[in-house]
Amino acid sequence: MAGCPAHRCTTTRGCLARARDGGGRGATPLDVRARGPRDMAAPPLAGFRDLGSPRRRVDLARTHPRWLRAGSCMARCASGLLGLLLCCAAAQDAAAQLRVVEVPLATRSSLDSLARLGFEVAGMRRVAGELHAVIVVSPETETRLARQGYKTTLPGLALAPTRVAEDTFRTFHSFDNPVSGIRATLSAWTSADTLIHVDSVGASLEGRPMLVVKIGPAADDPARPNVLFIATHHAREWISTAVAMKLIRWLADSGGAAIATHDVWVMPVENPDGYQYTFTNERYWRKNRRLNSGGSYGVDPNRNYPTFWGVDELGSSSWEYAETYRGTAPASEPETRAVMAFHAAHPPVVSLSYHSYGGLLLYPWGFRAGELPPDLTRYQALAGTELAPAVTDSVPGSPQEHYHPGPGWNLYATNGEYTDWAYRTYGTIAFTTELTNGCCLQGLYYGFEFPDDSVLVERVFRDNLPFARSLIDASGDLAHAPGASGLVPGVPRFTSLWPDSWLSLDASAPRPLSLTLRTGTGALVDRSVQTDSLRRGVLRTDWRTDLHLDAVRALRAVATNVSAELVSLAGAEPLDKGWRGWWRDSVGAPGAGKYSWYAAGGFDTLTSPPIDLRGRTAVWLQLWTRHNGSAFTPEQNGVIQFSGDSGRTWSNVALIVGDGPSWYPMRVDLPQAGGRRGAQVRFISNQFSWWLDAVGFASDATTVFAQLATAAGADVSENPVRSDQVVISWPATVGSARISVFTFTGERLYEATVAAPTNEYVWDLTVDGGARRVVNGAYIIVVDVDGNRYRKRLFVARPSQ
């Protein structure tokens, strides 16, 4: 039956072309008369070698009729010729009905619901003021969507979908075309250029070779760092392969020192079966071509990696019809195992996975909102920031000027995804680029179907080339190399002081046994620090401590030179006066108090009171935040501005775009704030649902841990006091000290006792057990200690409230 010409519909993409052992050693087309045993490998690729075993030459793409295994689709459909034809026809008909639709979103939770139903949200658009999600549906998934009450509409102002017929595109090329296909092109390049070497790391489910191109010297050299560029996990994302092919050509023609001192590899198609299928059957196909147990096809290759595989139904799906179906087990797919084999043989220092679309530059972590990688400063220096981006977007008609950088969960949660796996397993500094914005060409939305225009494709490649080059350069000096935007990794430092301490230290540094904490009452106490495998990176290790029960004034990491002082702190609590704007929400950051500031999604501004930073250097802003936005709608954003002149002029210091549904800390360096008398910050929400808590100025240059000099009497940290606290100090003592605060009329307002040897106390200017702050005016500080009485006149002159 396999040799019967009547069944020539059973191509290598059909329901019957299953490879032995999931495709690890090739596949066999049933119609051997129409396709000979070696045809799958044509045209031959010079110099194939198995990268897992470099000494053993292999011919991975051979096929042979005797490899057809029992239990294949043929066995399941073998009830007769009619059953066989119906099986094939059903697969073709179902596949041909994928279409792009829009789904109106009533609330933010609707987006999570779509993800839990297994849809990849490909884009977000505003239609008549209403937010719509762009998704791809099949008849099965659209039925499931309808059962949940969702209504779909066809996209307005969209390009007509590409009709898959003949492989005649000018810029995009299939995998198998014997003249212009990916295999044919690489074979021709290899024959003509001694700098291009094509290797195979395995075979796909249907037996296509998993091709990896090395540009530069043929031999591997441990002295040269490995860099990997990988494209098209998802079959329909043609622009990814086009950019990868252009990168190969550019490196061979112009790479120079980059390819002489680095081992640069490019895998232009991670999903060759699905990619080929988009040229012959279904343009919008995403997954590979696995025949699942329920009769559906495909596993999402970018949800099949072992790290965090299947941790929830938000980042991947267990439903086999879903676009984000993760498979039956981690690394169940031969394509995934091929990528894993490459990493084992040639661990990349850095890597980049090309996808489309969205105009984004993403890095770990993606599996859970609020989680940040321990090597965050390295990622941010390479990917850039919203104010100093690494990748510009110059495609005509694009509504954005640059690609938006951030952790993967800024887009949506993913698990079993490549970059999380590569970073956690091999320490690879791994990125995902979502190429192009998806809009617009002559005002029309193109989405996955980037125009078949060589000039526009070249523009996308040129926009992304500086970032690719910066990754290659960084692989040789990971700790110090600047990114494409000129940013460099930050030094070891605190990124949060309260309510949790987040401390970033060199990964090679000895473990800090503890933190020394200078409390708000002046006491010195020790607190332990913790880390785990998730917080151990390549360059840095994060150490964290819960300090929400402590009144933190300053922190120092024992046995290091890393310390920081909290100059001011506020969080929408009743005593946090002087802040203007926004609402007070009843839920604060974990451990930070009962309230947080909240912008409800319109246009609103929150402004801090002025803080006196004279005498301060190395100033930074600490805050905890969460937000509901979308990386697809960057016009929804949050702007952080700084003023050093009490609000007369303002400058942007940070911009937040995308989703962030869980609280996380953020550090914003403010070198311009040092020494400013009227330092203020403000937060501007632009149609952005935004929460803020534990906001304060901090300084990495602190003297609070230095031995206090002997004083003749009581002293205070500032006079007049313009902030919400003052430090009272006195000469070193052997006994406990009693601190009293009086009005000028002699009324005692406040009293506290401090045990020796501490000789300072931080008063937060509150009385009546913290119920209210003192009013502006003059006060007398009295310190009784060791039989001596010290007096100090204090003036409180906080800004008007």
Q: 672-682 pLDDT, tens per residue?
A: 999 999 999 99
Arch. (CATH architecture) of 220-317+345-475: 3-Layer(aba) Sandwich (3.40)
3-state helix, strand, coil in the chain (%, to 5): 20, 30, 50
Average pLDDT score over residue span 293-319? 97
pLDDT at 790: 92
DSSP 3-state assignment of 523?
coil
Contact call for residues 203 and 273 (beta carbons, < 8 A): no
Active site residues: 434
Cα(458)–Cα(480) distance, rounded to whole angstroms? Answer: 31
Average pLDDT score over residue span 606-611? 96
DSSP 3-state assignment of 590?
coil
Element (H, E) at 380: helix 376-383
pLDDT at 166: 59
* φ/ψ (deg, to 5) at 530: -135, 155
Assigned token pair, 724 = 């919400």
- Packing angle of the helix pair 238-254, 454-475 (nearest 10 deg): 60
Cα(59)–Cα(514) distance, rounded to whole angstroms? Answer: 57
Q: Is 466 exposed, middle or buried (0-12, 13-18, 19+ CB in 10 A)?
A: middle
146-172: buried (b, 16+ CB within 10 Å) or exposed (e) per residue? eeeebebeebeebbeebebeebeeebb
Backbone Cα Rg of the chain: 31
Contact call for residues 638 and 695 (beta carbons, < 8 A): no
**Beta pairing partners, 227:** 264, 350
For residue 712, what pLDDT band results from cuts at 50, 70 and 90?
Answer: low
Sequence length of the chain is: 801
Contact call for residues 534 and 659 (beta carbons, < 8 A): no
DSSP 3-state assignment of 761?
strand
Cα(188)–Cα(174) distance, rounded to whole angstroms? Answer: 15
Q: What is the pLDDT of residues 35-52, one digit of tens each?
A: 333 333 333 343 333 444
DSSP state letter for 636: S
Between 383 and 733, the higher pLDDT residue: 383
Residue 738: Cβ within 10 Å count: 14
Q: Of 608, 558, 547, whose CA–CA distance to 582 is shortest?
A: 608
For the CA atoms of 44, 286, 423, 231, the dihedral, rounded to the nearest 10 degrees, stands at 40
pLDDT at 82: 30
Start-to-end Cα distance in the chain:
88
Q: What is the pLDDT of residues 442-465, one digit of tens each?
A: 778 889 999 999 999 999 999 999
- Name the pTM for this structure: 0.82
Contact call for residues 593 and 571 (beta carbons, < 8 A): yes
Contact call for residues 423 and 373 (beta carbons, < 8 A): yes
DSSP 3-state assignment of 322?
coil
Average pLDDT of the chain is 86
For residue 364, whether the previous peptide bond is cis, meaning omega lies within 30 degrees of 0, is no
Q: Where is average pLDDT lowest: 36-50, 299-313, 412-426?
A: 36-50
For residue 502, whether the previous peptide bond is cis, meaning omega lies within 30 degrees of 0, is no
Q: Which residues make Cβ contacts (< 8 Å) with residue 705, sequence separation at least 6?
A: 516, 518, 524, 554, 556, 563
CA distances (Å), 299 to each of 322, 332, 369, 372, 703, in order?
Answer: 9, 9, 24, 28, 58
Strands (DSSP E) along 608-671, which ranges? 619-628, 637-643, 651-657, 660-669
Q: Where is average pLDDT lowest: 91-95, 230-234, 252-256, 782-786?
A: 91-95
pLDDT at 441: 79
Assigned token pair, 730 = 């006195």
Between 268 and 52, the higher pLDDT residue: 268
pLDDT at 269: 99
* φ/ψ (deg, to 5) at 535: -110, 10
Q: What is the pLDDT of residues 502-561, one digit of tens each?
A: 999 999 888 877 899 988 767 788 899 999 999 999 999 999 999 998 889 899 998 899
Top-confidence range, 68-77, 157-166, 616-625: 616-625
Cα(320)–Cα(300) distance, rounded to whole angstroms? Answer: 10
Q: For residue 235, which amino acid is it?
A: A
* φ/ψ (deg, to 5) at 780: -115, 125
Q: Is the pLDDT of residue 85 over 60?
A: no
* φ/ψ (deg, to 5) at 426: -115, 0
Q: Which residues make Cβ contacts (< 8 Å) with residue 446, sequence separation at least 6?
A: 158, 159, 438, 439, 440
Q: Is the pLDDT of residue 88 over 90?
A: no
Contact call for residues 690 and 683 (beta carbons, < 8 A): yes
The superfamily (CATH) of domain 583-699 is Galactose-binding domain-like (2.60.120.260)
Q: Is the pLDDT of residue 230 over 80?
A: yes
Contact call for residues 337 and 26 (beta carbons, < 8 A): no
pLDDT at 732: 79
Contact call for residues 180 and 173 (beta carbons, < 8 A): yes
**What would you measure as the largest C-alpha separation in the chain, in angstroms?**
110
Q: For residue 535, which amino acid is it?
A: R
DSSP state letter for 88: H
Q: What is the pLDDT of residues 113-172, one digit of tens each?
A: 898 999 999 888 877 778 889 999 999 999 999 998 898 988 876 666 666 555 678 899
Contact call for residues 240 and 435 (beta carbons, < 8 A): yes
Give me the percent of the chain exceeding a pLDDT of 70: 85
Q: Is the pLDDT of residue 466 over 70?
A: yes
pLDDT at 746: 87
For residue 760, what pLDDT band results from cuts at 50, 70 and 90?
Answer: confident
Backbone torsion region of residue 327, taken as left when φ is above 0, otherwise alpha when ψ lies between -120 and 50, otherwise beta: left
Q: Which residues make Cβ contacts (< 8 Å) with residue 633, sequence separation at least 6?
A: 124, 126, 131
CATH for the stretch 715-796:
2.60.40.1220
Q: What is the pLDDT of residues 629-669, one digit of tens each?
A: 999 889 999 999 999 999 999 999 999 999 999 999 999 99
Residue 329: Cβ within 10 Å count: 11
Decide the pairing of beta strands 350-356 and 226-231. parallel
Cα(269)–Cα(519) distance, rounded to whole angstroms? Answer: 57
DSSP state letter for 573: -
Question: What are the boundaries of each domain within the chain?
Answer: 220-317+345-475, 493-566, 583-699, 715-796
Assigned token pair, 750 = 């406040």
pLDDT at 440: 84
Q: Where is average pLDDT lowest: 218-232, 410-424, 615-629, 772-786?
A: 772-786
Cα(553)–Cα(600) distance, rounded to whole angstroms? Answer: 32
Rounded to the nearest 5 degrees, what angle is found at the Cα of 269, between the Cα atoms of 267 and 270? Answer: 85
Average pLDDT score over residue span 319-326? 97
Could you identify the residue written with the tokens 């937040």?
A: 656
* Cα 540 off chain centre by: 17
Instruction: Give 163-197 as a 3 state SS string.
Output: CCCCCCCCCCCCCCCCCCCHHHHHHHHHHHCCCEE
